[in-house]
Structure formats: structure tokens, C-alpha cells
A and B are shown apart, each in its own frame.
Chain A
Amino acid sequence: MTWNAFLIALREIRRNLTRAFLTVLGIIIGVASVITMVTLGDGTTKALQQQISSLGSNMLMIRPGMGFGPRSASAGIPNFTMDDVEAIREQIDNISAVAPVSSSQMGTIYMQEARSSSITGTTLEYFSINNWTLAEGRYFSSSEATSGAAVGVIGDTVRKELFNGEDPIGKKIRVGSSVIEVIGLLKAKGQVGMGDQDDCIMVPINTVQRRITGYTSMHNIGTICVSAVEGTDSDKLVADISSLMRQRRNLQPNQDNNFNVFDTRQIADTLSSSTKTMTTLLAAVAGVSLLVGGIGIMNIMLVSVTERTREIGIRLSIGALAREVLLQFLVEAITLSCIGGIVGILLALVICLGLSQLIDIPFAFNIQINMISFIFSATIGVLFGYAPARRASRLDPIDALRHE
């Protein structure tokens, strides 16, 4: 009897392809939109998390000026010196590394290729604070750092843009008006949301002063990076550093800080709370589209109720049992819902793969949302295919035939 119902159901689907197609379409739309939205949301969240972890753990940044941001170093406020860096290293507890950062944007040339990159003068500790690792070559040695040797470590974007697939190690590039030798290549961090971190050239800080910018002032350090010992109370650390810097900058009690200490954990917190908001928003939109898909299914099912009720009347009048008719409708609804669900999942897969490539986020397959949206849509499909049939099959055949 099951096989028979299956057979009859398939006949009925084949015979009413338009109706079947519209039902399936409703399910496809519901399933595909929910999965796409949640998957892209997950991907973005993942991308942000990668970004956050690539910033380095427990890192603090000290910058001149009142606020945090690229334009915050207001005029007249002095930058830091190497003495500040050493003072922090010696007088502050619970820090594992300190590094100065002296950045500027400069033209770089190798053979025929020319472009502009960010040149960072710093010390060896900078790499560990910022979670950089080497892909090839080496970092600069301490003697190179002290002497201000003409050597540099480049990011992956610089390699790609300047070297055209050549091995960069040992090559000489022109930076500003001087020439440096590439001794190391950094492993790519990727480019997500916050600009291209891999578009960088790191040289010893003395090299920047001596050869590239030719700064004469000692106050040429725009940022000091500090990494805290794991598990340190970062609020206390911020307070300690602040009071040290106030003292070093001769600030009176009635004066505000003319520098700020930024805890990257704040970025992490801000970002994760905003991704949480985004995920919630996406879930809400997804819910709505699921509902819309569901209403589509209901609609097409309800539109065909009269015709289907009469069909049930005909089947009952020629001797079909109510349960045979119900089984047929159940099989029909399940078949259509499953086809719709599977096509919807496949469609979502294709869209997500395409879009995550396009907007450059990782593709995060979420089995849970696939299951949930499949089950939800399939349930609506089955309920609305089955419920009218249930009602009709309880009627006397003549009442089902008379249905208007």
C-alpha cells in the first residue's frame, strides 16, 4: 500500500508540474535565503575573529594625542623617544615585550615596479608582539638593529606587487632615497576589513632615522607597542603606564593626558559585540525570509485546496480508503518538500561559496542552520499539503465532490 501511494503521489506530481514547481520554489527560497544569510554572517564573524587574533594578544598601544585613531596625534603634541620605550621596559611590571613604531608611507621601487608602502621602523620585539611569523629568510639581528643596517623584512603584499613571483630574499629595493636589502618575508595575515596588514616593510628603527627619513629629532616614535604577560590585569597596566608617561612628559595634575594607552582587548570586545549584533540582525532577517518562503508554500497549497478536495472526492467515490488518500498526500508533500529543501541547500552552497570569495571572508558551513531551515520548510510544506487532505478525507465523498 505504501508503494502504491508512492506511485499515485508521483503521478499526481508529474501531472501538476506547475503546482509542484511553485511549492518547491517556496521551499527553495526559504531554505536558500536563511542558509545564505547565516552562513555569510558566520563567515564575517570568523573573519573578524581572525583579524582580532592577528592583532596580537594582550597588546597595548601608546600614542600621542587625546583619542585613538590615525588622525589623533594633534599638532604640537610630542611623539615618543627611545628613552620612553626603555623607561617602560624597565619600570613597568608584567610586560613581556616593548617595541617602538615609527611609520611612514613611502615610495618603493624594484626593477620596473614602483608603488607606495608603509615603512615601519621598529625593533625585533615588534614581530612577536604583533604575531608576525616568517615565511622565509630571517629577522634583523641586534647588531643590524643598533647599527641601522640597510636591511628590511617585507610583507606578502609587497612581495606580490614588487617581485612578480621572484624570490625576494637578498634582493635590493629602493625605499625613498635609500636602498635596502630584503632579508625576510613575513607570512601573510590576510586582508580583512581593516586594511591590508601585509602591505608593509619593517626595518630597524635606527635605519629609519639614519637612512630613510633623516629625522633629526629624537621624538620620532609615533606608537609604542607593549605586550602584557598572559593573565595580567590590563586596567592596572594601563594605569601604571599612564602615570609613568605623565611623569615623563611633565604633566601637572590639572592637565589632561596628552597621550593615550589603548588596550587592543577593547577592539576585540567592540568587534565581538558588533558581530553579535550583526548575527542577531541576520538571524532576524533570515527568520523573516523563512516566514515569507513558508507563506509562499501555504499560499500555493491553499489555492489548490478546492481542486484537491474534489480530487479526494473522486478518489473516495471510486473506493479509495481515507488513509490511502492521506498517505498519497503525505508522500507528495514530503517528496516536494525534500526536493525543495535539497535544492535550497545546494543553491545556498553555491551562493555562499561565490559571495564569500567575492567579499573575501572564509566560507563557514553551518550544519545546524542547514538542518533547521530544511526541517522548518519541510514541516510547513508537509503540514500545508497534508492538513487540507486530512480535512477532505474525513468528509462523505459527495461533500468532498461538492466542495467549492
Chain B
Amino acid sequence: MPAKELIRLSGLTKTYGQGDAAFQALKGIDLSINVGEFVAVMGHSGSGKSTLMNILGCLDTPTSGVYAYENIEVQKLETNQRSMLRRHALGFIFQGFNLLARTSALENVELPLLYRGLTRGKRHEMAEKALRSVGLPDKLRNKPSELSGGQQQRVAIARAIVTNPITLFADEPTGNLDSSTTHEVMTLLTQLNREKGITILMVTHEDDVASYADRVVCLSDGNILSDTLNNRKNNK
């Protein structure tokens, strides 16, 4: 089966600030990602990984270049259309979780479903299922402040996958986790990729974490340094 292209970047740049203070964080990225791939983005701090990921996740807009998602040129879309793309196709996992404070795990996970106009019963059912699949069936009523870092990250993952996105973007999803929790989260992501066919792009600076992916893209100072295929260590 020939691989189908999901994401294509060409000449993508991002400049922060203006005039003298301008800083080019991405300097013309060309990249193609196929449906079903699990890609790790690596590079040292400040190389532009987060910047790239935010643009891919439609949270930020590129300064120039082309970002095509399923052949739709995203950079030409209007704000609302990009919102709809996020709502229906994309999931995003932040390094800092970005959960709503004082809000239970269940309600946090339900949040994306609220904007889909699902009934209360359906929302509950889907959110509970997502929380079960990330291994938190008994923390539904807990607020973020009552959860550990790993548990919060898993709530964030549940929130990202509860809508069954086509593509999942994760910016250092294990950045705040210890090694055993890291392994659990990575196993979960691998599972989502393998079993649900979700395309995953994940930023990490740990080789260990990157080794779960099929492909590693390495950034340096806003350019792609290398793009290599992995021999996955947990190939089945």
C-alpha cells in the first residue's frame, strides 16, 4: 500500500518580533509526513521544535512558506476554519499540560466534546472511556491540583484523544515525568499509533523517548539537520 501524504511543509519560516528584535526561529523547513507515521522531533533547546509543533498544531501561524494538511493550505485558512480543523482533526498535548484549574479530570476531558454539541450522557461516556484508556479510571473527580504530574499529563492525553483525532501533536509529553511514568505514557502513545492509526508528531530531547518513534527529525537553529528512520525498539 503506497503511503498517503498527510502533512507537507515547504519553505516554512517563523520570525518572532520585528525590526532589530526580529528572530527567525524557523528558517525554511521542508518536510513530508505520511498517514500513520510516528515521528519524533529532536534538537537542542531553542532549535525551534516547539515553534514547529505549534504551527503544525494550528496554534500559531507561520511567517511564510506552505503548510498543507491533507492538501489544504492551512496558512491560507481563516481563524474559524483553523479552529474547526483543530476541533475535528487535531489533538495537542502540551508540555505544561494546560488543564483548566479547579476543574475535575472528567470535565477537562469533556471540554472538547462540549464544543461538538454532544449530549451529557454521551460526553460522560466518551470522557470516561478516554480516562480509562490512559489508566486513570479512578481519578475522574480529581482536580489537576490533586493529581501528580504524570496523572495530569495523562488527563491531557485523554483530552487530546477523546475526540479521536487524525493527528496528535505532543510537545515534550514526557518532559516533566520520571522514567517509569515516561515509559507508561510512551507505551500509550505507541498503542494509539498502532491500534487506532493516529499519526503522531512528538517533540523530545531524550534519545530514549525518541526510540519509540518510527522516524526521527532533528532540528538545529531552525533548520532540519537530519531525518532518519528508526529501528523501533519495541517492534512487535
Mark A residues whose CB is within 8 Å of B: 1, 4, 7-8, 11, 15-16, 307, 310-311, 313-324, 396-399, 401
Contacts and interface: CB of A to CB of B under 8 A. Distances in A.
Given A322-B79, A398-B59, A313 B98 contact: yes
B93 to A, nearest CB: 11
B117 A319 contact: no
Contacts of B86: 316-319, 397
Contacts of B90: 319
B72 interface: no
Interface string B68-100: 000000000001100110111010101000111
Nearest to B98: A314
Contacts of B60: 396-399
Nearest to B80: A321
B103 A15 contact: yes
Contact of A324 (B102, B107, B115): B115
B1 interface: no
A11 B106 CA distance: 13
B54 interface: yes
B31 interface: no
A87 B100 CA distance: 92
A317 B84 contact: no
Contact of A317 (B92, B107, B114, B163): B92
Contacts of B59: 317, 396-398, 401
Interface of B: 54, 57-61, 79-80, 83-84, 86-88, 90, 92, 94, 98-103, 107, 111-112, 114-115, 117, 159, 163
Given A4-B114, A398-B54, A319 B88 contact: yes
A322 B83 contact: yes
A318 B111 contact: yes
Given A314-B100, A315-B115, 4 more contacts: A319-B84, A396-B61, A397-B58, A398-B54
A303 to B, nearest CB: 15
A323 B83 CA distance: 11
A236 to B, nearest CB: 79
A401 B98 contact: yes
Contact of A319 (B98, B99, B100, B115): B115
Nearest to A401: B98
Contact of B87 (A15, A16, A319, A399): A319
A399 B79 CA distance: 14
A317 B103 contact: no
A307 B80 contact: no
Nearest to A322: B79
Given A8-B114, A315-B111, A396-B59, A321 B100 contact: no
B83 A319 contact: yes
Nearest to B87: A319
